[in-house]
Amino acid sequence: MQISPQGAPNIRQETVTEDVSSTAFIRKLENHLRFTSSERDALQRLTQLNVRNVRSRVTFIEASAPASEISIILSGWACRYKMMPDGRRIIVAFHIPGDVCDFHALLTTAADTATEAMVNAKVSSISRQALGNLTALHPRAGQALWWESLVSASIQREWLVNATRRNASERVAHLLCELHVRQAAIADGAEEALCMPLTQADLGNACGMTTEHTNRTLRDLQKADLIVLDKRVIAIKDPDALVELSGFDPAYLHMQTQKVASARSPGAIAIDKCLNTAEV
């Protein structure tokens, strides 16, 4: 599972110096407050200090690793997972560009989750030290980070509801709605941002379902004309119907209302492996 992809077994990640964008990250934080330009600059600089490329399906944050830094997804997708004693893997979160994927690293105790890139990704790391300097100088930035961690927790709660109280179709539909909205909130018009690199296995795992049943459920949703399956792409055909079916209410995402609204705009979204062949 955490096997390096073919071709570069030894080079699991490499530091990059080229230009990368941390706008998604700052945009997400600005859900909670508006930064001054100096605050924004400080965040921008901090997120570009230490950026690395991570190859698809590589676990770049180990559960047992002594954590001394937090990581932010700059591009690509990642999933956070827990391992069961019997080796089963449970996805507890998806992380898209702009997401901080290991707030728990701020705790002094050992991490209980690992994080894997789902496609080739760019990840920025900020040391606890650097973070301390930032919050000392820009307390509001620290506060925004805390808030962001609270939003993560809120999403986690909704996932519990999703997996325990909704049936298979509702679960999948709800997760698609969530990803749709989160995705739209960080998109800046670029179609790349609207690409969701999810396998059916990942999708099902996150919903607490087997791959087989996920597949059948997706077929049902297609039969009902809510989505379209084509090769390895899942396209949302009827967003409103998905919202209706799953009882999706974006309040738990704690976004500014206009960002939520923008996700309601028509237009299909593809969930596929398009990013797998992206540059790295």
37 binds, among a second copy, DNA, none (CB under 5 to 8 A by kind): none
Dist CA 93 CA 189 (whole Å): 25
Q: Is 103 in the site for a second copy (CB under 8 A)?
A: yes
Residue 190: Cβ-neighbour burial (10 angstroms; 0-12, 13-18, 19+): exposed
CB proximity list for 10: less than 8 A, separation 6 or greater: 4
Q: How far is the CB of 30 from a second copy (least distance, A)?
A: 12
Q: How far is the CB of 88 from a second copy (least distance, A)?
A: 7
Dist CA 191 CA 242 (whole Å): 22
Give 151 or 229: the residue with its C-beta nearer to DNA: 229
Q: Is 4 in the site for DNA (CB under 7 A)?
A: no
Give 67 or 221: the residue with its C-beta nearer to DNA: 221
Helix (H) and strand (E) counts for the chain? 9, 12
Cα angle: 76, vertex 78, 82; to 5 degrees = 175
Give 49 or 161: the residue with its C-beta nearer to a second copy: 161
**SS3 at position 172:** helix
Q: How far is the CB of 220 from a second copy (least distance, A)?
A: 20
Give 128 or 237: the residue with its C-beta nearer to DNA: 237
113 binds, among a second copy, DNA, none (CB under 5 to 8 A by kind): a second copy
- Give the one residue of 20, 163, 241, 268 binding a second copy; rule: CB under 8 A: 163
Q: Is 84 in the site for a second copy (CB under 8 A)?
A: yes
Q: Is 212 in the site for DNA (CB under 7 A)?
A: yes
Dist CA 175 CA 231 (whole Å): 20
Six-digit token string for 83: 């391992």
Q: How far is the CB of 127 from DNA (least distance, A)?
A: 32
Where in 4-63 is the site for a second copy (CB under 8 A)?
A: 32
- Give the one residue of 252, 262, 274, 276 binding a second copy; rule: CB under 8 A: 252
Cα angle: 42, vertex 62, 123; to 5 degrees = 35
Distances 20 to 25, 42, 183, 212, 271 between C-alpha atoms, Å: 12, 15, 18, 38, 23
Is residue 143 a contact partner of residue 104, using CB atoms and an 8 Å limit? no
Dist CA 214 CA 203 (whole Å): 8
Q: Is 264 in the site for a second copy (CB under 8 A)?
A: no
Binding mask 130-169 for DNA (x = CB under 7 A): -------------------------------------xxx
Q: Is 1 in the site for a second copy (CB under 8 A)?
A: no
What single letter denotes the amino acid at residue 100?
A: V
Distances 244 to 213, 240, 247 between C-alpha atoms, Å: 22, 6, 5
Q: Is 199 in the site for DNA (CB under 7 A)?
A: yes
Q: Which residues bind a second copy (CB under 8 A)?
A: 32, 82, 84-85, 88, 90, 92-93, 103-104, 106-110, 112-113, 146-147, 149-154, 156-161, 163-165, 208, 247, 249, 251-252, 254-255
Q: Which residues bind DNA (CB under 7 A)?
A: 3, 6-7, 57, 167-169, 199-201, 208-213, 215-216, 218-219, 229, 231-232, 276-277
